[in-house]
Amino acid sequence: MKLHVKLVERKEDQIGGITTLRFSVESPEKGVLSVEVPLGLARRLSEEYEGEALLTEEKPSPSERDLLMNAVVYQSDENSLRASAYGLLVILELKDRAEDLANFSRGDEVYFLLRDIVSASP
């Protein structure tokens, strides 16, 4: 499932050691995507981002500027998907139904990819 997303908020949790990235989902359906990443990794990500997110059961081929996470689905229906990537959460909530989300089941292994979000090395 391909999504066009735009970063709207970054929220750091110094105690928990994570940054929550919140994206608006622009297409094909409107919605919200929330992704937790370690603080150290978050510092390497672009401050502003608009691009492609991919949710799939087949492992994609990432570039060095992509963020790829392997996660296990713990809840899914036509409007939402919740998955855990080694304790880091990936939550997708859409306003309209998406049959692609209904195809995922609890326990499914999925890959989540954000294209070109990692900043170029100095």
Distances in Å between the Cα of 95 and the Cα atoms of 59, 84, 87 are 27, 22, 26
pLDDT exceeds cutoff 70 at 47: yes
| pLDDT tens profile 81-96 | 999 999 899 999 999 8
pLDDT of residue 119: 84
Domain boundaries, given as residue ranges, for the chain: 2-114
| pLDDT tens profile 24-44 | 999 888 999 999 999 989 988
CA–CA–CA angle 96, 97, 98 (5° rounding) = 120
Structural class in CATH, domain 2-114:
mainly beta
pLDDT exceeds cutoff 60 at 122: no
Q: What is the mean pLDDT of residues 108-113?
A: 96
| pLDDT tens profile 54-82 | 999 999 999 999 999 999 999 999 899 99
